[in-house]
Amino acid sequence: MTVTGYSDVINHAFAFAAKHHDRQVRKGTKLPYLTHPANVAVILTRYDRDSDTIVAGILHDVVEDCVRDGYTRDMLEQRIGDKFGEKVLDTVLAVTYRRHDDEGIELSGEDRKADYLERLADASEEARWVCAADKIHNTSSIISDLLRTVDPETVWARFSVGRFGTARWYRQVYERLREVGFDAPIMAELDNVSNELLKLAG
């Protein structure tokens, strides 16, 4: 069902995300972190996604980034499931980087990325939409900042893997989504922005 007009559940999701992302800012900027999930929601709305997918887009970083102020990961997962339903929670968890594998072994930064890509094979259609929208906004934000600045290195310096590692990561996500059979219209947009970032990375 296409979301039109006011949606109480989407408004509630924004309030929930605002509470948990409070005082967080976007990497290397002074922008409130909430601008990211808000833009992910806008992208999903442009493609007429349903309410559960948009809500998951708004909440997609809560479990990953908000284990603080007395909230454990388990508590955050329970709160999301109780308030927004198991389908939304499953979608959020499918696009959440894991810190430990199924055996409880801690994953390195590169291992977390590999695990994320691997799990896209079993992710739902909704989770793949959220993944694509998330990466489109992240990539587009980097591109905008690169084109705006007189010193691109100040933008690339935000990322520990450097310019090529950063650009290559977003391209890898696009390639993996295509590999697992995700061919939704949003993929053309992700193709364009991930290619543009690679060009800017040189």
Considering the chain, what is the average pLDDT of its residues? 92
How crowded is residue 147: how many other Cβ atoms within 10 Å of its Cβ? 11
Q: Is the per-residue pLDDT at 5 higher than 80?
A: no
pLDDT of 165:
97
The per-residue pLDDT for range 81-97, each reduced to its tens digit, is 999 999 999 999 999 99
Q: Measure the CA angle with vertex 29, ends 27 and 31; round to 5°.
A: 100
Taking the whole predicted model, whether its pTM rises above 0.85 is answered as yes
> How many other C-beta atoms can be found within 10 angstroms of the C-beta atom of residue 154?
12
Distance CA 17, CA 33 (A): 10
Instruction: Note the pLDDT tens digit of each residue in 93-124.
Output: 999 998 888 888 888 989 999 999 999 999 99
Q: Rounded CA gap, 6 and 21, in Å?
A: 23
Q: Which domains does the chain have, with CATH numbers?
A: 8-201 (1.10.3210.10)
Q: Which residues pair with 2 in a beta bridge?
A: 50
SS3 content of the chain, % helix, strand, coil (to 5): 65, 5, 30
- Asked if pLDDT for residue 198 goes beyond 90, the answer is yes
Q: Tell me, what's the pLDDT at 100?
A: 83
pLDDT on residue 43: 98
pLDDT at 69 over 80: no
Distance CA(147)–CA(170), nearest Å, equals: 18
5 vs 20 pLDDT, higher one: 20
Tokens of 197: 């970032």
CA torsion 149→175→130→170, rounded to 10°?
-20
CB burial string 97-132: b at 16+ within 10 A, e below: bbeeeeeeeebeeeebbebbbebbeebeebbbbbbb
State pLDDT tens for residues 129-171: 999 999 999 999 999 999 999 999 999 999 999 999 999 999 9
Contact 133, 57 (CB under 8 A): yes
What angle is formed at CA 155 by the lines to CA 131 and CA 23, rounded to 5 degrees?
Answer: 65
Those residues with Cβ within 8 angstroms of residue 3's Cβ, 6 or more apart along the chain or in another chain: 10, 45, 49, 50, 51, 54
Do residues 61 and 21 lie in contact, with contact meaning Cβ atoms separated by under 8 Å? Answer: yes
